[in-house]
Amino acid sequence: MLITREADYAIRLLRGLTDGEIHPVKSLCETEEIPWKFAYKILKKLKDAGMVESLSGVRGGCRLKKDLNDVTLLDLLTATEGRQYVNNCLKPGYECTWEQKKGRKCTVCGQLAEIQKKMDRELEAYTLMQMIGGDSAER
């Protein structure tokens, strides 16, 4: 799994919101060096995940809704990319034709499941606050 440009931009957008204030999207894009065309799409995903809220009106914009100490890198990747797996055989509901034909567990799927667990644990080990370097005043 790679960190996509979208996930990178999402981290930067959240970094720009760490002060708890309402920020116009345009100023966030300028501050964080993000093309505005991507920002709206990403912010919608972050809003749907409960990480940000958007406010309408003259003083509208967006602000952080969730404490970034409580949001992991895995949470962010799931919000922006959807749940990712190292192989399709790990997706819920997947039916392995090899296992069906052979009548036994596939060792490849077993090993991939172990890799998936390790990757998930690593991605869960980092909060977004750690990713952005802590306190917003340190930027």
> Residue 101: what are its φ and ψ, rounded to 5°?
-75, -40
Q: How confident is the model at residue 1 (pLDDT cuts 50, 70, 90)?
A: low
pLDDT digits (tens, 9 = 90+) for 4-55: 999 999 999 999 999 999 999 999 999 999 998 899 999 999 999 999 999 9
This prediction has a pTM of 0.85
pLDDT digits (tens, 9 = 90+) for 52-88: 999 988 888 999 999 999 999 999 999 999 999 999 9
51 vs 71: CA distance, rounded Å = 8
131 vs 119: CA distance, rounded Å = 16
Per-residue pLDDT averaged across 87-96, rounded? 91
94 vs 127: CA distance, rounded Å = 30
> Residue 54: what are its φ and ψ, rounded to 5°?
-110, 145
Q: Which two tokens stand for residue 48?
A: 């749907």
DSSP code string of 70-103: G-BHHHHHHHHH----SSGGGSTT---HHHHHHT
Q: How many CA atoms lie within 13 A of 58 on its CB side?
A: 0
Total domains in the fold of the chain: 1
Domain that holds residue 77: 5-138
Question: What CATH number should be reported for the domain holding residue 61?
Answer: 1.10.10.10
Has residue 137 got a pLDDT over 60? no
Compare 49 and 105 and report the one with higher pLDDT: 49
